[in-house]
A and B are shown apart, each in its own frame.
Chain A
Amino acid sequence: MPKTETYTFSFIALIFILIICFLVNISLGSVSIPIQAVFKSFLGTLDHESWPYIIQDYRLPKALTAILVGSGLGISGLLMQTLFRNPLAGPFVLGISSGASLGVALVILGSGIFGGVFATLLISKWAIVIAASLGSFLVLLAVLVVSSRVRDTMAILIIGLMFGSITAAVVSVLSYFSSAEQLQQYIFWGFGSLGNLAWSELLIFSIIYCLGIFLSIISIKGLNTLLLGENYAKSLGLNIKQSRFIIIIATSLLAGTITAFAGPIAFIGLAIPHITRQVFNTSNHKILLPAVFLFGAIIMLICDSIAQLPTSDYFLPINATTSLIGAPIVIWLLVRKRKMIF
């Protein structure tokens, strides 16, 4: 498309902002580390008793997780909005995240009901990850099966919300029968956390993430064609069933693993594509996809920096921070422009 060049400046600016946010995110925290020291630690020449340890084992993986989480959720939101041709769509609205919550609830809370040795087997980090991925995939599949029968996109959204209610109900039934300890564990998972990943976990996370991104990239052409509507897309020779399947697998890989590793993070998936469209006034996914990646990563890094309440020992749950900071931004953007571009 001829317009690609005009966005070059925006992309360079965004990459620059991303790098700054990344460095600032690493330097901020309960202990403030100067940016020069962060640079030195990357080069391996930092001479300090605790800073290299803090940066390498805690802050660097956390900042990388923030980038993966923000960009991944943003992209899965973009895919859903185009697939369902609805600006309200996102991983949360369609019940992907509640599916993940159900999976995790079954593992954490359900283990008490099954009891015994089984319980200790179940509550490992990996069990939670697998349960969350499986839960999100199943819910999305259910939404898809139903959506192939109903033509109306609004109906699909309502069905997604219904799945959300069902999972919420199952979770509350489970929590009624659980011990306070298990409940606490589940609630802490629900707050979301970017900082709990060791390098080995981050590796697995990024492998699945890359797979999801890869599937999103090969869907770009199909997504652009879907902008015309399904019947036009079909008349252009697009294999709708196959493209739809790939898009949904990509979304569930991204949203599912993110929810598995970082908890259900609200708002980002729905809002990032809208924030991006305010700056990049295009529907072309070749431009939107990388732009959503950058915006998602930047906003997640900013939210995380704020959530850890720099120089204090307290930190806010990341799940609350994203909505607290992000929702007013989206409202402000929409009120200012008086128009939602979609």
Chain B
Amino acid sequence: MEEKNQHIILKTKNLSIGYKSKKAGTVIASNINIELKKGELIGLVGANGIGKSTLLRTLTNVQNGLSGEILINNQLLSDYTSEELAKTMSLVLTEPIASKNLSVFELVALGRHPYTNWVGNLSSKDIEKVNQALNLTNIDLLKNKKCFELSDGQLQKVLIARALAQDTDLIILDEPTTHLDMYHKAYILKLLQKLVKETNKTILFSSHEIDLAIQLCDKMIVMNENEVVTDSPCNLISNGTFEKLFPKDLIVFDNKSGSFRVKK
């Protein structure tokens, strides 16, 4: 890793995630040690139900971890006020936005919420940031369209632009490629890679597009049954981490092409 990239944005120490109930806690994954640096694109992969969403929910302070620490910019996540956190971390969620009657500009401008005054008026700096976000995601032309007029792919770009407008060091996306066709899946992930390069932000996304993630990510977090491994895609392939990802009865990982193949 180069020297300039050494600044650590997000770090977990022996983090355990899961659900607490009155009787007993359910541990979903434990001993998670992740280090995300500035200007990295990180893909989080794992089988359905392995706890990707739980991990993201824990990292974004939606739910509490069971034990261990989460540090963002060297400060405990639990010490952040919601406003500070909103200026440090922005999200793209899987849930649809509540009102599709917002225009693209309005939706992206809502990303400026933590910076605007009590009634939400945009300053010239806010408008500049919004236009910059629209520009980076190539959606300037959609600016005045309503969200219900957009395709799924366009909407995803708009939501990414909203997160960019929030002007945070870290952007976390929960399955940004669901509902998209093959081209747009590649397009969105390629866009994320471009954004990391141009803005030097750290972007973490969960996805089922393992082969695309292998090609585009600087680092991947692989959630297996027994462990959570973080490394560069190359090392993960040579260590055979992907082979443990799924049950072996149907598909196998092909090291040469870096993708899964159906067993014959």
Check A228 for interface membership: any CB of B closer than 8 A. Answer: yes
CB-CB < 8 A to B116: which residues of A?
221
Question: Across the interface, do A236 and B114 meet the contact criterion of CB distance under 8 Å?
Answer: yes
Kindly list 9 other residue pairs between chains A and B, CB separation below 8 angstroms, not including A235-B89, A236-B110. A1-B105, A1-B122, A217-B119, A220-B120, A228-B107, A232-B91, A282-B103, A283-B102, A284-B106
Residues of A within 8 A of B60 (CB): 235
B206 to chain A, nearest CB (A): 15
Indicate if A237 sits at the interface (CB-CB under 8 A): yes
For residue A3, CB closer than 8 A to chain B, the reply is yes
Which residue of the partner chain B has the closest CB to A217?
A: B119
Whether a CB of chain A sits under 8 angstroms from the CB of B101 is yes
> What are the residues of chain A within 8 A of B82 when measuring CB–CB?
234, 237-239
Residues of B whose CB lies within 8 Å of any CB of A are 60, 62, 82-83, 85-87, 89-91, 93, 95-99, 101-103, 105-107, 109-111, 113-114, 116, 118-120, 122, 166
Instruction: From the candidates B83, B97, B101, B109, name the one contacting A229 in the complex (CB within 8 A).
Output: B97
Query: Taking CB as reference atom, which chain B residue is nearest A284?
Result: B106
Neighbour of A231 across the interface among B86, B93, B102, CB < 8 A: B93
Residues of A within 8 A of B106 (CB): 1, 282-284
In angstroms, how far is the closest chain B Cβ from the Cβ of A76? 19
A221: chain B residues at CB < 8 Å are 113, 116, 118-120
Contact of A237 among B98, B103, B114 (CB under 8 A): B114
Q: Is A218 an interface residue (CB 8 A)?
A: yes
Asked if A56 is an interface residue, CB under 8 A from chain B, the answer is no
Say whether B166 contacts A282, CB under 8 Å: no
A227: chain B residues within 8 A (beta carbon) = 97-99, 102, 110
Which A residues lie at the B interface, using CB under 8 A? 1-3, 82, 85, 217-218, 220-221, 224-229, 231-232, 234-239, 277, 281-284, 286, 341-342
Residues of B with C-beta under 8 A to A229 = 93, 95-98
Q: Is the CB of B119 within 8 A of A235?
A: no
> What are the residues of chain B within 8 A of A224 when measuring CB–CB?
110, 120
- Residue in A232, A277, A284 whose CB lies within 8 Å of B93: A232
**Which chain A residue has the least Cβ–Cβ distance from B163?**
A235
Decide yes or no: A341 and B101 within 8 Å by CB, A1-B106, A237-B86 being known contacts: yes
Residues of B within 8 A of A282 (CB): 101, 103, 106
Known contacts A85-B99, A283-B101; A236 and B119 CB within 8 A of each other: no
Chain A residues with CB under 8 Å of B62's CB are 231, 234
Distance in angstroms from A225 CB to nearest chain B CB is 5
| Residue with the highest number of chain B CB atoms closer than 10 Å, among A235, A238, A281 | A235
Return B122 CB to nearest CB of chain A, in Å. Answer: 7
Are B110 and A237 interface neighbours, CB within 8 A? no
Question: What would be 12 A-B contacts, judged by CB atoms less than 8 Å apart?
Answer: A218-B118, A221-B119, A221-B120, A224-B110, A236-B113, A237-B83, A237-B113, A239-B82, A282-B103, A283-B106, A286-B119, A342-B99
In the A-B complex, the 3 residue pairs with the smallest Cβ-Cβ separation, listed nearest first, are A237-B86, A221-B120, A227-B99
